[in-house]
């Protein structure tokens, strides 16, 4: 790692630590800050490495097992490395009825994406969701924090091509 990259990584880590401390200070009990601080930790690393979970557990005065248990329960928390962009495609009933399965096939054929996998170029990870609250606009997905609904085979490609 070059010196400038090391300095950037240290600045990012310090910024995350500051955010975690100020988040903890905003809650009546330390452990109540678990979910928001998990999101801060994920923002720093892109996912939740074991070492980061252990450090967070120490800050929150919780066991690593407790923090890991919460981290593995929530689908928006990544417990393994992910690509630059995370696609969360809903395949539950409303989205399935409106073509989510064919979108899944398209992602596999065009990008080599399997559920839980990463595309070869490292651009996309694919996570299957059980409803993202957009049933009236099915089929729907999130890419990172962006919502995309009423997807078609054409629109999903156009949308994904806008992500580096
Ligand atoms: S079933 Fe897909 S958003 Fe609800």
Q: What DSSP letter does each residue of 72-84 carry, written as one string?
A: HH-TTS-SS---S
Q: Among 98, 134, 141, 147, which residue has the most ligand 1 atoms within 8 Å of its CB, making it the best to mutate?
A: 134
Q: How far is the CA of 155 from the centre of ligand 1 (A)?
A: 18
Please report the pLDDT score of residue 141 as a whole number: 98
Mutate which of 128, 135, 137 to test ligand 1's pocket (most atoms within 8 Å of Cβ)? 135
Q: Which atom of ligand 1 is nearest to the CA of 139?
A: 2
Banded pLDDT at 134 (limits 50, 70, 90): very high
- Does residue 16's CB lie within 6 angstroms of at least one atom of ligand 1? no
Is residue 135 lining ligand 1, measured as CB closer than 6 Å? yes
Percent of the chain with pLDDT over 90: 84
Q: What is the pLDDT of residues 59-73, one digit of tens each?
A: 999 999 999 999 999
Label residue 16 by pLDDT band (50, 70, 90). confident
Of 121, 64, 87, nearest to 112 by C-alpha is 121
| CB-CB contact of 53 with 89 (8 Å) | no
Instruction: Give the tens place of pLDDT for each residue, 74-133.
Output: 888 999 999 999 999 999 999 999 999 999 999 999 999 999 999 999 999 999 999 999
For 102-121, b where at least 16 C-beta lie within 10 A, e where not — what string?
ebbebbeeebebeeebbbee
Q: SS3 for 120?
A: coil
Q: With contact defined as beta carbons under 8 Å apart, do 110 and 157 qualify?
A: yes
Q: Is 132 in the pocket of ligand 1 (CB under 6 A)?
A: yes
Domain annotation for the chain: domains and CATH numbers: 3-73 (1.10.10.1590), 85-160 (3.40.30.10)
Q: What pLDDT score was predicted for residue 6?
A: 72
> Locate tokens 């630059």: which residue?
84
Q: How confident is the model at residue 28 (pLDDT cuts 50, 70, 90)?
A: very high
Ligand 1 pocket check for 92: Cβ under 6 Å:
yes
Is 53 near ligand 1, meaning CB less than 6 Å away?
no
Burial of 65 (0-12, 13-18, 19+ CB in 10 A): exposed
Distance 74 CA to ligand 1 centre (A): 17
93 lines ligand 1 (CB under 6 A): yes
Separation CA 34–CA 164 (nearest Å): 31
């Amino acid at each position: 790692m070059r010196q400038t990259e090391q300095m950037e990584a240290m600045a990012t880590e310090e910024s995350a630590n500051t955010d975690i401390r100020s988040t903890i200070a905003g809650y009546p009990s330390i452990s109540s800050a678990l979910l928001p601080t998990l999101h801060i930790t994920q923002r720093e690393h892109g996912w939740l490495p074991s070492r980061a979970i252990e450090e967070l557990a120490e800050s929150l005065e919780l066991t690593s097992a407790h923090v890991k248990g919460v981290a593995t329960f929530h689908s928006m928390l990544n417990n393994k490395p992910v690509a630059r962009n995370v696609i969360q495609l809903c395949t539950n009933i409303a989205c399935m009825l409106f073509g989510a399965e064919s979108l899944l096939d398209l992602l596999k054929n065009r990008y080599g994406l399997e559920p839980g996998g990463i595309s070869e170029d490292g651009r996309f990870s694919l996570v299957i969701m059980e409803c993202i609250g957009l049933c009236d606009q099915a089929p729907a997905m999130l890419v990172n924090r962006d919502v995309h609904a009423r997807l078609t085979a054409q629109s999903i490609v156009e949308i994904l091509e806008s992500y580096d």
